[in-house]
Homo-oligomer: A and B are copies of this chain.
Amino acid sequence: MSDTITVKLIDNPGGIADCPGFKTAGIACDIRENGKQQLDLALVTAESPCAAAGVFTLNDVCAAPVHVCKEILSHSGVKVAGFVANSGNANAATAEQGMVDAKEMSTNSQLETGIGSPFLVCSTGRIGRVLPMGKIKAGIAAAAQRLNESEEQSLNAADAILTSDTRRKVATAQFVFNGKTITVAGMAKGAGMIEPNMATMLAFLTTDLEVESSTLKDTLVRACNKTFNRISIDGDMSTNDTVLLLANGKSGLVPNDHPELLHAFREAVFMVCDTLAEKIVGDGEKVTKLVELVVEGCKTDKDAEKIARSVGNSLLVKTSWYGSDPNWGRLADAAGYARVGLKEECFDIHYDEVPALIKGKPQDSKLSEWKTIVSKKRFRITLNLNQGDGNFRLLTSDLSEAYVDFNKSE
């Protein structure tokens, strides 16, 4: 047997139910209270209780469902039944009532499905408004009746978590080990502003591998650090950001017994997260361009991250991308105010492969080539400080007038 297992993303992914042993439902229960038949509640269960891991927002202001998930996952070795997620209302800044409601969503999912293990819970949407619990309870009851393994319900679930997203976001990776196919399936909602209150990102991954929770957590954290934590649309961090990974063990395979199996699993989780992260940035609110910012040659990776975030979140940089203006001066300015000790006389900037600044000197003869690159829908900018080995990659976007218009009021 080969040491390396090939992991592949599948074409036409079908969402969570691509992974054997998971049932899904996505239904409409009018959480937005506007009378429209919009899918807004997703319920996911496994045939048998799952090991689970979560990565959550670092915001001091956390929504109630984040508190509930953290509490459930704080019990060592806990197994969960699945999760329930709604769009249309974030259950954030809702004080004590929010906690009561988030817990009730969890326990209600248990009651309606008849599964004894706890349900994780996520909400996204408008903040500062109490959940319409009557509608949500009716929704959970209806969803529990429709739970199945069909692709239709799986895609309904993926649609039910969307807010201002313009496209469904699903990805599935698979690999074969000892003749058995292992799957990691995922769905996400975007970091565009919602409803239009704030940028929440939710992502849900499932696998049929049997993975203990500490390995699951470690795998998820590694993947998030290289994917979801390296995307930026407007630099705002939501109160609700959550990524969950559930393992139902249906394949009967345990990666800890096989280093190459663990390696393939980590790769599959990374690939699903990376694909979902890219879909999120590409579908950011009123985004017209996707920019891959590569920062190299820093003293530390942390310095490189500071520069990447300083540049990637600069309004002046983002508006210049929107205008297809190869304004490397703004890049240099934003890199400079990250204040990591950048030396101008060592500093290189490239648009794709074309130099803009070499050792601090502008390469003006390349102006027309820069313009061509910055006019593309997707391009790469590399900043090299030539002062060490630290590096960081950030996927980011431009800033349009439409973004301002879209977010200027509720």
Contacts and interface: CB of A to CB of B under 8 A. Distances in A.
Contact of A60 (B62, B315, B322, B342): B342
A330 B409 CA distance: 11
Contact of A93 (B235, B314, B332): B332
What is the predominant secondary structure among interface residues of chain A facing chain B?
loop
Contacts of A234: 315-316
Contacts of A400: 404
B128 A329 contact: yes
A93 B408 contact: no
- State how many copies of this chain the complex holds: 2
A61 B311 CA distance: 13
Interface residues of A, number: 62
Interface in A190-216: 193, 197-199
A106 B135 CA distance: 73
A320 B408 contact: yes
Interface string A231-250: 00011111100000000000
A58 interface: yes
A9 B339 CA distance: 37
A197 B332 contact: no
A358 to B, nearest CB: 11
Nearest to A196: B316
14 contacts: A58-B339, A59-B333, A59-B337, A61-B344, A95-B345, A95-B361, A193-B316, A198-B316, A236-B334, A239-B332, A319-B407, A319-B408, A323-B409, A325-B410
